Amino acid sequence: MLTMLIIIIIIIIIIITIMANEICAMWKQKAAQVIPIVISYTGVILKSLSRSLTRLNLHPNTYIQLQNSVILCTCSFVRNFLNYK
């Protein structure tokens, strides 16, 4: 189980590196940083989200609005799936 998690983390790091290289090539930049903002469909956030938001010069409490949007969108998906309006 632990080895599977390590493999997944390594794959994610490789994908982020490839994305940064493609962004550099596309926009003709010398360097690019990919800052992950991950929120689950239930609104659960990572501990590092506040650091990511400050690196983007956003208000630290922006995560509350992000969580609200994600939960409302999840509710919309469920309503559409159940054909409930």
Assess contact for 20 and 35: CB atoms under 8 A.
Answer: no
Q: Which residues contact 80 (CB under 8 A, 6 or more apart)?
A: none
Overall pTM surpassing 0.85 (yes/no): no
- Domain locations along the chain: 1-31, 35-85
* pLDDT per position as a tens digit, 44-73: 888 888 889 999 999 988 989 999 999 999
The whole-angstrom separation of Cα 62 and Cα 53 is 8
